[in-house]
């Protein structure tokens, strides 16, 4: 048996923009469904909001997002979760970092750390905290 987890991020009207941005950073395709297309709402303001969305890549990256249901409270909170990206190719991790930097608050600059040859953390322009690192050599 195997198991995998997927980070699912909740938004209040920014899910489509965030998914498009993450696809531009990590590659892959956006798959999404709106509340209107699903027939889940009669409210015109909600018709184009995302009820299901995800980005997946051939390398195994996957993230999901949606806009919270109409009438559902939304509070992103502070440090509620991090999306952790761990890789073994420094150039690839640096490319992801560069893509996420636009409008971001850097919390830990990307550089050598006590646990990895390259690690960093930022809060992107959507308020999502990303932690990225490169695997330390074994042995």
In the chain, what are the domain boundaries? Answer: 7-66, 82-134
- pLDDT tens readout for residues 43-78: 888 889 999 999 999 999 999 999 988 778 888 887
- 82-134 is classed CATH 3.30.720.110: yes
DSSP H or E run through 118: strand 118-123
- pLDDT tens readout for residues 94-128: 999 999 999 999 999 999 988 889 999 999 999 99
For tokens 């690690």, the residue is 119
Residue 2 has pLDDT above 90, yes or no: no
Give me the pLDDT at residue 1, please. 59
The domains spanning 7-66 and 82-134 adopt the same CATH topology:
yes
Pick the CATH number of 7-66 from 3.30.720, 3.40.50, 3.30.1480, 1.10.10: 3.30.720
Is this model's pTM higher than 0.85 or not?
Answer: no
Give me the pLDDT at residue 38, please. 82
Contact by Cβ (8 Å): 67, 13: yes
């Amino acid at each position: 048996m195997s198991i995998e987890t997927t980070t699912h991020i909740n938004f209040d009207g920014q899910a489509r923009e965030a998914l498009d941005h993450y696809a531009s950073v990590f590659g892959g395709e956006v798959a999404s469904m709106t509340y209107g297309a699903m027939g889940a709402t009669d409210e015109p303001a909600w018709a184009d909001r995302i009820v299901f969305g995800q980005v997946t890549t051939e390398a195994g990256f996957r993230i999901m997002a949606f806009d919270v249901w109409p009438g559902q409270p939304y509070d992103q909170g502070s440090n509620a979760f991090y999306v952790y990206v761990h890789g073994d190719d420094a150039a690839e991790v640096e490319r992801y970092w560069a893509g996420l930097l636009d409008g971001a608050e850097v919390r830990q600059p990307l550089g050598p750390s006590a646990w990895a040859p390259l690690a960093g953390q930022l809060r992107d322009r959507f308020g999502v905290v990303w932690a990225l690192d490169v695997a330390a050599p074994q042995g």
